[in-house]
Amino acid sequence: MSNLPFWPRLLGYIQRRTTTSVWRRPFVLNQRCPIISFTFDDFPRSALTVGGKILVRHGATGTYYVSLGLAGKQTASGQIFFPEDLNTLVEEGHELGCHTFSHCDSWATATRTFENSIIQNHAALARLFPYAEFKTFSYPISLPRPHTKARIADYFLGCRGGGQTFNKGKIDLNQLSAYFLEKSRGNLQVVKDLIDRNREACGWLIFATHDLAENHTPFGCTPGFFEQVVRYAANSGAEILTVVDALESLGVPGHETAKSNRPRVRAEVRPMASGKKEPLVSILIPAFNAQDWISDTLHSAIGQTWERKEIIIVDDGSTDSTLDIARRFETGTVRVIEQQNQGAASARNTALSHSQGDYIQWLDADDLLAPDKIARQMAELDRVASRRTLLSSEFGKFLHSWPRAQFIRTGLWEDLSPVEWLLRKMGDNLYMQTATWLVSRELSESSGLWNTKMLSDDDGEYFCRVLLKSDGTRFVAGSKVYYRGFRSNSLAYVGRSDRKREALWLSMQLHINYLRSLEDSQRTREACRAYLQRNLINFYPERSDIVREAEQVAKDLGGELCPPYLSWKYAWIKKTFGWEVAKNTAIQMREVRWSVENALDKTMSRLRDKNIPLALSDTQLTHVPRLHRR
């Protein structure tokens, strides 16, 4: 019986019940064979030098939940790993899982601080292994606050807790159950009975512990006891899998990218043998209420001169005629998938999960590709040595009349290393439009899924991760994208949306960590500070909490932020009515100007381009009949 006083025990019970009941990510286990995983929290050295050897002797590997900020330290769970141990772990085929950077208490730590520690751990891993990524998580010390559980779910395929039981039937991927071996107090029969029950239920049993030593800490067990458990598990008929491999085997959502958490050797592109099929390109189109544009976009995709292609449209719960229009295009190479409204990032993930292509072409439902856009980029592959090279193209902005698109060269229209590309993007306020990229399947899978938290700048954050996994960018001149320009109802526009402000701030923190994971120097810190200063206007003065955090980040970078600039036209409003009124007036006037420009361009487009054909080339168009025009 517990020696804790009544009130702490009651508080712990309420805490466990609250967390377990909310923000669940349900998944039903229906595998044919029981699964057992061995995990080590904190990654004490003995977990690898002793526990890892035991697992390998029995043909198994384990999952090590690491707080990289603890490297080399002596803690309550023993001597923590040294940096050189990570190479041994990877070479032996074990999985590295995330445990926050600073080993934050999951309940006692504020949600935003906890999330920042996860981001910091990701960045630290990227510095050590550029092609590695955490895919699973273990809550340190206690179960999380409900808001924390919800907030971090999208970062991982699965998050492990405790509970002293195994997973069966309907489980919660945000709180996988585990059995801590130290709580058996050395009673091997108790553990054997649990393994037997897991086998009978065809469940998934996750063992957890910390150090392994004859004189172990209160959080570990002896090597002899651990080896007996591993031996019995191996002989039980269960599959012994790391957590990430188990999730992949079970087919959980996002499992297609599960193995990307392990460093890989870069694959070289070799000339195709005579008679071998050309690579398949998947053109993936998320669509929501795009009835005015989807027909033109699909014509441009179908009209690609690269013959081996598949086109997948995911309708994200449109309330207009988008789905009906898209279905008219369905053929053997054009598929339409319907889902409830979950956002652009979710629709992109759905499209990717259904794709089969060797290369991925993203295309928004209102943008257009020149007919030879993909063909030009694929031709460049003969001069590219690695599948991890990211191919980019030119893009021009327009509203309604594509011949009026303006192609303005920027500093990103070059062959660049990942660090140089991010440095120019953040320091010089540049960007590449989503459809400009052509990404290999290997690079896509190693980069992970689109972040569904990103209500703003989802493509900016995603392609930062792609860049981190890449060898750099190869710019293909003459390959063109026609980008239907910035509008107040676009995903990228922050405006007065508080949720978009929070998403943008998260994206900015990730951008800064991504760049500094590649190079932490005076020039990269200055680019990060300039990036913070330029975007401060999105939060000032409404979100003083984010402003304070941004100021602290700038201070950590060795600089400081100034109040954002507001045009002289609104200075008198600011002086009379305050900053917030002046800023809102500026936003409203900008939206009015965009609305007028949009209406004028639409009218002129209808008069000028009434009969202009749609399949695009540099100077001339090939006629394709329109199925819909509003």
Residues 287/318, Cβ–Cβ less than 8 Å = yes
Among candidate residues 285, 288, 308, the one with its CA nearest the CA of residue 297:
285
Cβ-Cβ contacts under 8 Å for 326 (sequence gap 6 or more): 287, 294, 298, 313, 315, 336
SS3 state at 176: strand
**What is the helix (H) or strand (E) element at residue 315, kind and residue range?**
strand 309-316
SS3 state at 512: helix
Largest CA distance in the chain: 85
Report residue 114 as tokens: 């906890």
- How far apart, in Å, do the first and last CA atoms of the chain sit? 73
Q: What percent of the chain has pLDDT over 70?
A: 86
Using CB atoms within 10 A of its CB, is residue 613 exposed (0-12), middle (13-18) or buried (19+)? middle
The three-point CA angle 384-467-94 to 5° equals: 100
Report residue 618 as tokens: 């540099």
pLDDT digits (tens, 9 = 90+) for 337-369: 999 999 999 999 999 999 999 999 999 999 999
Among candidate residues 176, 315, 179, 362, the one with its CA nearest the CA of residue 252:
176
pLDDT digits (tens, 9 = 90+) for 92-124: 999 999 999 999 999 899 988 998 899 888 878
Which of 67-76, 433-442, 478-487 bottoms out in mean pLDDT, i.e. has the lowest?
Answer: 478-487
Q: Is the pLDDT of residue 69 over 70?
A: yes
Q: How far apart are CA 128 and CA 69, in angstroms?
A: 13
Q: How far apart are CA 498 and CA 538, in angstroms?
A: 10
pLDDT band at 612 (very low <50, low <70, confident <90, very high): very low
Among candidate residues 368, 218, 221, 214, the one with its CA nearest the CA of residue 283:
368
Average pLDDT score over residue span 542-558: 92
Count the Cβ atoms, other than its own, within 10 Å of residue 318: 20
Cβ-Cβ contacts under 8 Å for 275 (sequence gap 6 or more): none
Among 258-262, 323-327, 386-390, 596-600, which range has the highest average pLDDT? 323-327
pLDDT digits (tens, 9 = 90+) for 430-446: 999 999 999 999 999 99
pLDDT band at 267 (very low <50, low <70, confident <90, very high): very low
Which of 103-107, 137-141, 405-409, 485-489 bottoms out in mean pLDDT, i.e. has the lowest?
Answer: 485-489
Q: Is the pLDDT of residue 276 over 60?
A: no
Strand 368-369 with 359-362, pairing:
unpaired
Q: How far apart are CA 198 and CA 35, in angstroms?
A: 8
Residue-by-residue DSSP string for 376-397 = HHHHHGGG--BTTEEEEEEEEE
pLDDT digits (tens, 9 = 90+) for 364-401: 999 999 989 999 999 998 788 688 899 999 999 988 77
- Residue 212 DSSP code: B
Q: What pLDDT is attached to residue 256? A: 57
Among candidate residues 494, 496, 402, the one with its CA nearest the CA of residue 455:
494
Report residue 94 as tokens: 């074990």
Strand partners, 205: 36
Q: Is the pLDDT of residue 490 over 60?
A: no
Q: How far apart are CA 292 and CA 564, in angstroms?
A: 37
pLDDT digits (tens, 9 = 90+) for 561-574: 988 877 777 777 87
Count the Cβ atoms, other than its own, within 10 Å of residue 168: 18
Q: Average pLDDT over the chain, rounded to whole? A: 85
Residues 315/323, Cβ–Cβ less than 8 Å = yes
Using CB atoms within 10 A of its CB, is residue 475 exposed (0-12), middle (13-18) or buried (19+)? buried
Q: Rg for the chain (alpha carbons), in Å?
A: 27
pLDDT digits (tens, 9 = 90+) for 200-210: 999 999 999 99
Q: What percent of the chain has pLDDT over 90?
A: 59
Helices (H) and strands (E) in the chain, counts: 21, 21
Q: What pLDDT is attached to residue 424? A: 94
Q: Is the pLDDT of residue 457 over 90?
A: no
pLDDT band at 70 (very low <50, low <70, confident <90, very high): very high
Report residue 199 as tokens: 């086998």
Residue type, 354: H
Residue type, 130: P
Residue type, 596: V
pLDDT digits (tens, 9 = 90+) for 10-29: 565 566 666 677 788 899 99
User: How many residues make up the chain in this entry?
Assistant: 630
Q: What pLDDT is attached to residue 6? A: 60
Residues 163/17, Cβ–Cβ less than 8 Å = no
Q: How far apart are CA 331 and CA 451, in angstroms?
A: 30
Domains of the chain: 22-261 (3.20.20.370), 281-484 (3.90.550.10), 498-608 (no CATH)
Strand partners, 476: 393
Average pLDDT score over residue span 158-181: 94
Q: What is the pTM of this model?
A: 0.59
Cβ-Cβ contacts under 8 Å for 44 (sequence gap 6 or more): 75, 77, 78, 79, 80, 81, 210, 211, 212, 220
Average pLDDT score over residue span 134-140: 94
- Residue 336 DSSP code: E
- Residue 167 DSSP code: B
Average pLDDT score over residue span 228-237: 94
pLDDT band at 268 (very low <50, low <70, confident <90, very high): very low
Q: Is the pLDDT of residue 157 over 80?
A: yes
Average pLDDT score over residue span 186-199: 94
Q: How far apart are CA 140 and CA 159, in angstroms?
A: 11
Residue 622 CA neighbour count, 13 Å, CB half: 11
Q: What are phi and psi of 461, to 5 degrees?
A: -65, -40
